[in-house]
């Protein structure tokens, strides 16, 4: 599976390198992350509405292998600093993802909201979870991706550019992670 993903990433990278416009160059990214800012690919984040500084940092981290995920590392390795800025600016202008059509399970929504309040998620991610500067937008993010990412922070297997998320996630149980992801994915 990883070899297939790496081969796809290499093919997409070759296509992107030959492209001329930003729309042509970013098309391989949108194949997984969603053409209109909303990913339909399992465990893959929606990029729409992410702050340009946050996107820039993430692309830089992938390029420098400070954040490792082979397909992204392969895609980002040939990007120049100017490319990183161009891509992050493009991402910031994409439409924000829509929350799922269902309003969510009321009990899980209530538990998730209480957890978000208790752990002050709105302090860094804004009250509407829209993110700011180098903090990601998490509102209406894919629920599966949120749960995966929060679990990685809890398990200390996902390293960000600061350790605050690992500290925030330390006391949260796997069941609470599921409720928190359920809630944040559906914030309206």
Dump pLDDT digits (tens) for 98-145: 999 999 999 999 999 999 999 999 999 999 999 999 999 999 999 999
Q: What are 18-58's pLDDT values in tens digits?
A: 558 999 999 999 999 999 999 999 999 999 999 999 999 99
- Sequence-distant (≥ 6) Cβ neighbours of residue 156 within 8 angstroms: 166
Partners of 162 in the β-ladder: none
Q: What are 3-17's pLDDT values in tens digits?
A: 555 455 555 555 555
The CA angle 78-17-135, to the nearest 5 degrees, is: 55
pLDDT at residue 17, rounded to an integer: 52
Give the C-alpha separation, 116 to 122, whole Å. Answer: 7
Helices (H), ranges, the chain: 2-18, 22-33, 52-63, 70-76, 81-93, 106-118, 121-125, 143-154, 164-169, 174-185
Three-state DSSP state, 14: helix
Q: DSSP secondary-structure letter at 41? A: S
HSE (CB half, 13 Å, CA atoms) of 107? 1
Contact 169, 153 (CB under 8 A): yes
pTM for the complete prediction?
0.86
Phi, psi of 178 (to 5 degrees): -60, -45
- Residue 29: which of 170, 60, 37, 21 has the closest Cα? 37
């Amino acid at each position: 599976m990883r070899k297939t993903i790496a081969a796809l990433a290499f093919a997409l990278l070759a296509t992107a390198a030959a492209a001329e416009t930003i729309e042509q160059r970013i098309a391989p990214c949108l194949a997984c992350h969603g053409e209109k800012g909303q990913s339909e690919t399992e465990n893959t984040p929606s990029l729409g509405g992410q702050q340009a500084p946050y996107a820039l940092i993430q692309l830089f981290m992938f390029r420098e292998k400070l954040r490792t995920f082979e397909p992204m590392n392969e895609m980002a390795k040939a990007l120049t600093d100017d490319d990183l800025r161009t891509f992050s600016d493009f991402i910031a202008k994409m439409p924000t993802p829509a929350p799922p059509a269902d309003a969510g399970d009321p009990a899980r929504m209530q538990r998730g909201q209480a957890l978000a309040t208790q752990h002050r998620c709105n302090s860094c991610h804004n009250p509407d979870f829209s993110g700011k500067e180098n903090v990601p937008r998490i509102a209406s993010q894919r629920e599966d991706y949120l749960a995966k990412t929060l679990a990685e922070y809890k398990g200390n297997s996902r390293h960000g550019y600061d350790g605050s998320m690992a500290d925030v996630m330390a006391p949260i149980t796997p069941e609470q992670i599921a409720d928190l992801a359920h809630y944040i994915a559906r914030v309206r």
